[in-house]
Amino acid sequence: MTAVEDPAAPDTPVQMAPAKEVGQARRRKEDARLITGETQWTDNIVLPGMLHMAMLRSPVAHARITHLDVSAAKDRPNVVAVYTGADFAEEQGSLPCAWPVTPDMVNPGHPSIAVDQVNHVGEAVAVVVARTRTAAADALEAIDVDYEPLPVVLDMEQAVQAGSPLVHDSISSNTSYHFVFDAGEAGTGADTDQAFADAEVTVSRRFVQQRLIPAFMEPRSVVVQPTRDNYTMWSATQIPHVLRVMAAMVTGIPEHKLRVIAPDVGGGFGGKLQVNPEEILALLVARRLGRPVKWTETRGESLMAAHHGRDQVQFIDVAADREGNVKGLRCRILADMGAYLRLITPGVPVLGAFMFPGIYKFPAYRFECDGVFTNKVPTDAYRGAGRPEATFAIERIMDELAAELGMDPLELRRKNWIGAEEFPFTTVAGLEYDSGDYAQATEQALELIGYDELRAEQQRRRESNDPVQLGIGFSTFTEMCGLAPSRVLGSLAYGAGGWESASIRMLPTGKVEVVTGSTPHGQGHETAWSQLVADQLGVPFEDVEVLHGDTAISSRGMDTYGSRSLVVGGTAVVKAAEKVVQKARAIAAHLLEASEDDLEFTGGKFSVKGTPGTGIGIQEVALAVFAAHDYPEGIEPTIDAEATYDPVNFSFPHGTHICAMEVDTETGFVKIRKYASVDDVGTIVNPLIVEGQMHGGLAQGIAQALYEEAIYDADGNLTTGSFVDYLLPSAADLPHFDTGNTVHPAPGNPIGAKGVGEAGCIASTPAVVNAALDAVRHLGVTDIRMPLTPERVWRAMHQGGDGGDRAAATSNAQGVTSSEAATASVTEGDQQ
């Protein structure tokens, strides 16, 4: 997959105005309503006559439904209707999967509500519609279901064996697809098997990327209002535009009759990048009843039935010579799809497929991945989607190779990474890395964390045989952002493009409305886009209003994920602004009785060159075209403009993350002493927002290393089904982060931005695990399975291996956990 050169080159390069707003730590516009409770969450919406839906969900992982009686539930007070899969079997179609990653990928189809078989715990089997939320929930207990159990498939390595029980007996195996990228075959590298045959040193490891839960704080919620043949859907979604197209195709509601609105959305992290079964069911129920319906999930439902993330078993082989020059990389991946393919379930590992070589100059590379069905809730995007998995594998195996060679892990990295002078650099996976300086970021990070003192302390503790050992772990990473060039997506069989759209409306009073197709849910678009437009149009920051998340307002959009918003959506905004200036120039020239060529545009004002101080402001031009009394012949009286930007390449943020970790060798307790990161995300539009994105990403990446794991028991029950058991870190569980930046603007877009949303989450996990291993490697430990619970760390030190499986969530306790603390505070303080 290489960046596609655009033969027609339709885009003349856009000129950025001198940065006045861009680069400022503007406080966020969106905060005003969020800190005062005036936010519009989907669950706040109340409509006249609105009904409430509640789902009966399967308590078993794999079974035939042999009997389903809802009559008693229908008789419950205030219940309006009860539906089962049979009621919608004809019209529910299949939830969409937009990414058939191979031509022969098997997709068994995904009903929104089970018809005669359930394939994971939490799958909806009936839906109650009632006048109140509580009446709907109460009636669930009156539904009578009999299940005939089928063998449960949970373990991927067993599921791919011949003779394994099948998740879907309509298909012949549990393998959905086999995806291969071979650099030798693609012509981007040497023959991998040969590289391994010739290698002086090889290291092989099996890494487990545990299953995670996105766990956005706002539970999913949807409201549908039908008005005859028109439908308005409000949903707590990252993707109102994509959802509209997909929901129209699934339900047969014509696209122009369906409006989708994402009001304020409380986080997503990929977890709300989905066309949810419940969204489709809300549409089907509203259509059937002709009345508005609402569904808001409980946290228990969210953890059980909203899609999960990660969940790979990775077999990684690296080949090198004895001096530490890497020669080849081979990755075999088993990726757990869960029971069905949702929107981009199969594509997540493919997003990582090109990133396993990381920042290193591997001459040979081969990647293969099996997508495997199991009786669990489907996996799909979670912050980083594929790239954290790849980064973890390469950054962990580099440490293992260093240990094998007896080399310093940083020295090994330096020896093999792409030099600053080598950009743009085409990798063995065929990607063209755009810009950066890995050495510079590393030097800054070493200084930030106080590396030499930490190494000295490590030495002291080692020599004195201190029960608390210190380790230092690195992650020198890059990621692929700015999703995505549409032609590249096409070459990967993805079902849509990767462009973004924006339009700018100049109001008569000179105020500016910016409509963006990118849909924020915490990222601060309203602020950053205002900064971009303020600079480009020379208008005050306060005069700009950013509109988003409503298909009736922003008709075109590809929404928000993959660190794409600023890189792609921001560029569309800049291009639209440039068109506004172009249109305004013609009007201004007319009004000033000058030639367009003689006009200059600075600080929001057109003036004849050499006569500063005279002229007309762009905001005055807006009023002039509104009145339209005097404008040139042959042009339209408007300066509004629209632009669509399709990137020509990905962008490649990079950085160096360093974790210093204390490991108590007696208890297995691990504690991050210090964490420093220096990231290059290209040009920074708002340093406050960038820092916030880094912090949030770091928290989630560290949480994967230390705390989080979705665990199913042997019957396929999710035992981490509440925040008591699924351990989201609290403020007390996380360290202080020291963050910094280097700035190498992305050459691929006029802003120079590379994307920041996922960086922290992608980079941090291996730094943390490498740090723990660095603390205890001298005790013979070479791997510890994530999350690094005290039990696992202790076992790895005292019993060998990687610490093994956790039988149940109860072994998750680590120090004072957020769940313990919360429970304690409830019993002590809150029950009054």
Partner 1 sequence: MTQINVRVDGESYTDDVEPRTLLVHYLREQLGKVGTVVGCDTSNCGACTVHLDGQAVKSCTVLAVQADGSQVTTIEGIAGEGIGGTLHPVQRAFHEMHGLQCGFCTPGMIMASIDLLKENPDPSETEVREGIEGNLCRCTGYQNIVRAVQQAAAEMRGAAPGDPDTSPAAVDTAAAEHVVAQS
Is 8 a residue that touches ligand FES (CB under 6 A)? no
All residues at 6 or more sequence positions from 784 whose CB lies less than 8 Å from its CB, including other chains: 769, 772, 773, 792, 793, 796, 802, 803
When asked if residue 547 is in the footprint of partner 1 (CB under 8 A), the reply is no
Residue nearest to ligand FES (CB): 217
Burial zone of 830 (CB within 10 Å; 0-12 exposed, 13-18 middle, 19+ buried): exposed
Q: What gap in Å lies between CA 733 and CA 457, rounded to an integer? A: 24
Nearest to 348 by CA among 296, 300, 309, 299: 309
Tell me: does residue 267 bind ligand FES (CB under 6 A): yes
Shorter beta-carbon distance to partner 1: residue 31 or 666 = 31
Closest CA to 475 of 365, 367, 399, 563: 399
Q: Could you say which of ligand FES, partner 1, none residue 722 binds, taking C-beta under 5 to 8 angstroms by partner kind?
A: partner 1
Q: What angle do CA 802, 805, 806 make, to 5 degrees?
A: 125
CA 63-373-757 angle, 5° bins: 120
Among 253, 305, 718, 734, binds partner 1 (CB under 8 A): 734
Within 13 Å and on the Cβ side, how many CA atoms surround 1? 24
- Within 7-152, strands assigned E span 51-57, 63-69, 79-84, 117-118, 124-130, 144-149
Single out the segment in contact with partner 1 by CB under 8 A; choices: 153-161, 555-563, 666-674, 687-695.
687-695
**Sheet containing 605-608: order of strands:** 599-602, 605-608, 616-617
Q: Which of 38, 90, 104, 421 contacts partner 1 by CB under 8 A?
A: 38
Q: Does 9 bind ligand FES (CB under 6 A)?
A: no
> Helix, strand, coil proportions of the chain in percent (round to 5)?
35, 25, 45
Binding mask 54-93 for partner 1 (x = CB under 8 A): ----------------------------------------
Does the protein bind partner 1 through residue 100 (CB under 8 A)?
no
Q: Are 656 and 448 in contact (CB under 8 A)?
A: no
Stretch that binds partner 1, among 556-564, 566-574, 728-736, 772-780 (CB under 8 A): 728-736
Residues in contact with partner 1, shown as a per-residue x/- string from 803 to 832 under the rule CB under 8 A = -------------x-xx-xxx-xx--xxxx
* Cβ 563 to ligand FES shortest distance, Å: 17
Residue 803 is a binding residue for ligand FES (CB under 6 A): no
Q: Which does 32 bind (CB under 5 to 8 A by kind): partner 1, ligand FES, none?
A: partner 1
Q: In this complex, which beta carbon is closest to ligand FES, that of residue 194 or of residue 730?
A: 730
Nearer to ligand FES, 384 or 522 (CB): 522
Q: Does residue 522 bind ligand FES (CB under 6 A)? A: yes
Binding partner 1 (rule: CB under 8 A), the pick from 450, 692, 740, 747 is 692
Quote the Cα angle for 658-660-665, to 5°.
145
Instruction: State which of residues 88, 177, 269, 477 lies at the interface with partner 1 (CB under 8 A).
Output: 269
Residues in 423-442 at the binding interface with ligand FES, rule: CB under 6 A: none
Grouping H, G, I as helix, E, B as strand and the rest as coil, residue 263 is coil
Q: Shortest Cβ distance from residue 272 to ligand FES (Å)?
A: 12
Note whether 31 binds partner 1 by CB under 8 A.
yes
Please return the burial class of 731, using the count of CB atoms within 10 Å of its CB with bins 0-12, 13-18 and 19+.
exposed
- What's the rounded Cα separation, in Å, for the pair 568 and 752? 11
* Residue 46 found at the interface with ligand FES (CB under 6 A): no
Report helix, strand or coil for 193.
helix
CA distances from 71 to 80, 128, 140, 290 (A): 12, 11, 11, 22
689 binds, among ligand FES, partner 1, none (CB under 5 to 8 A by kind): partner 1
The closest alpha carbon to 374, from 312, 291, 427, belongs to 312
Task: Return the structure tokens found at 791.
Answer: 């039990």
Q: Which helix (H) or strand (E) holds 532?
A: helix 525-537
Backbone angles phi, psi at 360, to 5 degrees: -105, 150
Residue 700 interacts with, from partner 1, ligand FES, none (CB under 5-8 Å by kind): partner 1
Q: How far is the CB of 492 from partner 1 (least distance, A)?
A: 30
Binders of partner 1 in range 293-322 (CB under 8 A) = 298-300
Q: Which does 519 bind (CB under 5 to 8 A by kind): partner 1, ligand FES, none?
A: none
Using CA atoms, how far apart are residues 311 and 214, in angstroms rounded to an integer?
Answer: 13
HEC assignment per residue over 327-359:
EEEEEEEEEEEECCCCCCCCHHHHHHHCCCCCC
Kindly determine how many residues on this chain lie close enough to bind partner 1 according to the rule CB under 8 A.
68
Residue closer to ligand FES by CB (options 35, 714) is 35
- CB nearer to partner 1: pick between 154 and 212: 212
Among 163, 217, 228, 421, binds ligand FES (CB under 6 A): 217
Confirm or reject binding of residue 699 to partner 1 (CB under 8 A).
yes
Query: DSSP state, 568?
Result: I
Question: Closer to ligand FES at the Cβ: 493 or 728?
Answer: 728
The terminus-to-terminus CA distance of the chain in angstroms comes to 61
Return the ∠ at Cα 242 (arms to 28 and 7), rounded to 5°: 95
542 binds, among partner 1, ligand FES, none (CB under 5 to 8 A by kind): partner 1
- Figure out which of the listed residues 277, 522, 569, 647 binds partner 1, where binding follows CB under 8 A: 522
218 binds partner 1 (CB under 8 A): yes
DSSP state of 60: S
- In the beta sheet, which residues pair with residue 360? 417
Of 225-264, binders to partner 1 (CB under 8 A) are: 264
Please identify which residue in 74, 131, 133, 414 interacts with partner 1, judged by CB under 8 A. Answer: 133
Q: Which is nearer to partner 1, 302 or 789 (CB)?
A: 302
| Residue ranges that bind partner 1, judged by CB under 8 A | 27-28, 30-39, 41, 43-44, 133-134, 215-219, 264-267, 269, 298-300, 521-524, 542, 688-689, 691-692, 695-700, 722-724, 728, 730-732, 734, 736-737, 760, 816, 818-819, 821-823, 825-826, 829-832
| Residue ranges that bind ligand FES, judged by CB under 6 A | 217, 266-267, 522
